[in-house]
Amino acid sequence: MSEDTVSNLIVPPALNTGLEGFVVWPGLLDANQQIALLDDIRAVVRAAPLYRPVTPGGKAFSVRMTNCGPLGWVSDRKGYRYQPAHPETNEPWPPIPPVLLSIWNELSGYSAPPDACLVNFYEDTAKMGLHQDKDEADFTAPVLSVSLGDTAVFRYGAAEGGPTRSVRLASGDVCILSGPARLARHGIDRVISGTSRLLPSGGRINLTLRRAVAPSDGTST
C-alpha cells in the first residue's frame, strides 16, 4: 500500500517539474470526482456569477472569474486585491466546497485552511499572460490549483526570470506551488479544445486555493 487515501482521494505519484516546490499530481480526481466537484462549482457560480474583470489599465481579461471562501481575488481600475464580497452583486462569496478543503488538508502541508478560492473560466480562446501571484500577505502558504475541463498548456519559470518550460494540465490534475516555486512566473498559453467531455460546451475551469491573509492576523476565517 503505497497510496495515501483521505476522504476517498487516492494520491497518485507526483510528477517532477524541474522547478523545486512545483509538484503536479496528474489525474488526482477521477471522472466521478470531477463531476461531483463540477456540481459544487455550478452551485458556487449560481451564488456568485462569473464576471469579466478588467486590469488596472482597463483591459478586459479573456478569462471570466468568480470566487468562493472568506476572501476573493478581484481586479479593477483600482488595482488587484482580496475582498469579502462579489464586486457586482456585493454579496459575500459562497463557501469553499468541502472536497477542496480536503484536498488542501491532504496535500498542502499547511496547518490553516485556505481563505480564498479563485474560480477561473477559460473559453477556448482565453489565456493568461506570464505573471507572479503577489497579492497575498502570506507567501509561506502554498498555492494549490485544480484543473477541470479542457487541457491547458501551462507555462512556468523561476521567480528570478530565465527560461520557461511548459506542462499540460488536464481535467482532474492538481498542482501545488510552495517554497521556492511560490513566486514562480506562470501563465496559461492556451486551452486545447475538445480534450475533455466534462464541460458540455467545452472550456476549462481552474480553481486556485490560496491563503490571502496570514492565519495569525485573525482578519479572516
Q: To the nearest whole angstrom, how small is the minimum distance from the Cβ of residue 40 to ligand MD3?
A: 17
**Minimal distance in Å, beta carbon 181 to ligand MD3?**
6
Nearer to ligand MD3, 70 or 187 (CB): 187
Integer Cα distance of 76 and 58 in angstroms = 7
Partner in contact with 24, chosen from ligand MD3, Fe ion, none, beta carbon below 5 to 8 Å by kind:
none
Which does residue 177 bind out of Fe ion, ligand MD3, none, counting CB within 5 to 8 angstroms by kind? ligand MD3
Of the candidates 117, 116, 120, 139, the residue with the CA atom closest to the CA atom of residue 128: 120
Give the footprint of ligand MD3 on this chain (CB under 6 A): 118, 120, 128, 133, 143, 145, 152, 156, 177, 181-182, 184, 186, 188, 206, 208
Q: CA 97 to CA 69: how far, in whole Å?
A: 9
Within residues 114-133, the interface with Fe ion by CB under 5 A covers: 133
Strand ranges (E), the chain: 5-6, 9-10, 15-16, 22-25, 64-68, 72-76, 79-83, 116-122, 128-131, 143-149, 152-157, 164-169, 174-177, 185-191, 204-210
CB of 156 to ligand MD3, least distance (A): 6
Q: Does 150 bind Fe ion (CB under 5 A)?
A: no
- Cβ atoms of residues 18 and 42 within 8 Å: no
CB of 146 to ligand MD3, least distance (A): 9
Q: Which residues of this chain interact with Fe ion, rule CB under 5 A?
A: 133
